[in-house]
A and B are shown apart, each in its own frame.
Chain A
Amino acid sequence: MSTIRFEKVVKEFAGMVRPALNGIDLTVDSGQFIVLLGPSGCGKTTLLKMVNRLHEPTSGDILIDDQSIYNGMDVIHLRRKIGYVIQQTGLFPHMTVEENISIVPNLMKWPEEKTKSRVDELLDMVALPPNEFRERYPAQMSGGQQQRVGVARALAGDPDLILMDEPFGAIDAITRTDLQDSLLKLQRQLRKTILFVTHDVDEALRLADKIAILREGQLVQYGTPLQILTQPNDDFVSELVGADDIVRQLGQIRVETIMEPLLDGGPIKQTIYQDESLRVALSDLVKSKQDFLTVVDSGKQPLGTITYDNIRNSVG
């Protein structure tokens, strides 16, 4: 369990005209995947790095589980309880994959056996076979594999809260989609509270439970991807997310976010995976000549249904 509350957070950097963050109020519920989105210089990374106190606010407060992270909380202790993934992976080049992942468990003085099995468990989780990857050095892996290790390392100490600072920013488009899929799956199992910074709108729409849009140090809108696409607060948000392009919207919204939950068994027709986009759903509906599709999870278990009406009502 980890809720985060930002209260009137202001950050001024010396020599800058306007504050990097100007009175941010934001509440993040436990287990939610929150994306901080905005153009460069909007303050999203600064906000993220305040949670593990790499930056200190000029004024305001940040509370984790209703406890201020500034009053009497040891900063080293705080950081060890928060997973952290950064863009250039920040993997330690002189350490093997196993050593990299063991960092936080070792800092927390876990027994050796527990750490070892945790490393294997995590490597399995991020789809890197332990026997093949445990002993590798970062330089012996592709960018995508490195970032999988980065994610595994952040999860190592089993933190409730994970901060991700443009983790897939430097990775090619195809691998990025792969990593996003894996992260979604992982999050479905683990239900961590995730703060994820990106300037990539598609990535935000794909991953987020809720998106916080920042502009010039201010929070412009905070809502689900659907809300942001269909009810943008102003022209800035509308333009940023391309809200007037319906086809694009359909391509970004996941089926599970608008499906109708399955009440009883009912007949199972053609199925669609919960992470597919509405665009795929629409296409499948047309092709299959059915009235609805059955939404399933990765284990092919039915979760709900989706119809033409659901899709029509969801878009602006």
Chain B
Amino acid sequence: MSYIFNNPDIILKLLWEHIVLAIGALLIATVIAIPLGYYIHGKQKLTTVVLGILGTLYTIPSLVLMILLLPLFGLNATTVVVALVIYCQIILVRNVIAGLDAIEPGIMEAAQGMGMTRAQQFTQIQLPLILPVLIAGMRLSVVVATAIATVGAMFGAGGLGTLLFNGISQGRFDKIISGSLTVSLLAIVFNLSLQYLEKRLGKPLS
């Protein structure tokens, strides 16, 4: 613990790197997952295939996935972010589809019947209605990303993993403990804040 208080500048720098990795990956993953989920929603076969592939990717151990991506993106943060984006896809796409499925058919029929274009139906009706479910997915995703980003330190992405790996090689338990604590705390903060958002957005619906 005392390591944290004695080296706030190091901790803050690594913490910031870690946040950028996790949030950056989350945002990129969300931007990909929304159109992907929207497109495959309602297409049974395609949905099964896409979710199958994403589910399989999710089972690849993080170290292995990053090593596989290494030749493509090099020894830097990009490799790590790409890996995190891939892990988040299954969670997010699945939630986008579940959210769209949960919208009462009458609501979409009304929207269509009143003369909304497809784009207006999406931005004004579907997106706001799936938001609570989407944010639940983002919450899980960012926690997963926060955990896995720790491994990123081995690939030159920085972050709080640096403390862990340094600690292990130097036999410095204070570093290991400080790193673990900070990562855990970060994950908890992400989780709580998105949970709050999720609840607030879900309110008028029930």
Contacts and interface: CB of A to CB of B under 8 A. Distances in A.
Interface residues of B, number: 20
B206 A139 contact: yes
A76 B115 contact: yes
Task: Decide if the interface of chain B is mainly helix, strand, loop or mixed.
Answer: helix
Given A92-B125, A94-B205, A54 B114 contact: no
Nearest to A150: B110
A107 B115 contact: yes
Interface stretch (B26-34, B62-70, B101-109, B170-178): B101-109
B205 A80 contact: no
B114 A79 contact: yes
B204 interface: yes
B52 interface: no
B111 interface: yes
A18 interface: no
Interface stretch (A25-33, A83-91, A119-127, A292-300): A83-91
Contacts of A52: 113
Contacts of A36: none
Contacts of B117: 76
A80 B106 contact: no
Interface in B191-206: 204-206
Interface in B110-150: 110-117, 120, 124-125, 128-129
Contact of B115 (A49, A78, A94): A78
Task: Decide if the interface of chain A is mainly helix, strand, loop or mixed.
Answer: mixed
A253 B128 CA distance: 46
A92 B129 CA distance: 9
Interface string B142-186: 000000000000000000000000000000000000000000000
A104 interface: yes
Among B104, B114, B129, the most chain A Cβ lie within 10 Å of the Cβ of B114
A54 B109 contact: yes
A269 interface: no
Contacts of A91: 107, 110
A163 B106 CA distance: 14
Contact of B107 (A81, A87, A93, A137): A93
A280 interface: no
B116 A94 contact: no
A87 B113 CA distance: 13
Contacts of B205: 93-94, 137, 139
Interface of A: 49, 52, 54, 76-82, 84, 86-94, 103-104, 107, 137, 139, 153, 163
22 contacts: A52-B113, A54-B109, A54-B112, A76-B116, A79-B113, A79-B115, A81-B115, A84-B110, A86-B110, A89-B106, A89-B110, A90-B106, A90-B110, A92-B110, A92-B124, A92-B125, A93-B107, A94-B128, A94-B205, A107-B114, A107-B116, A139-B204
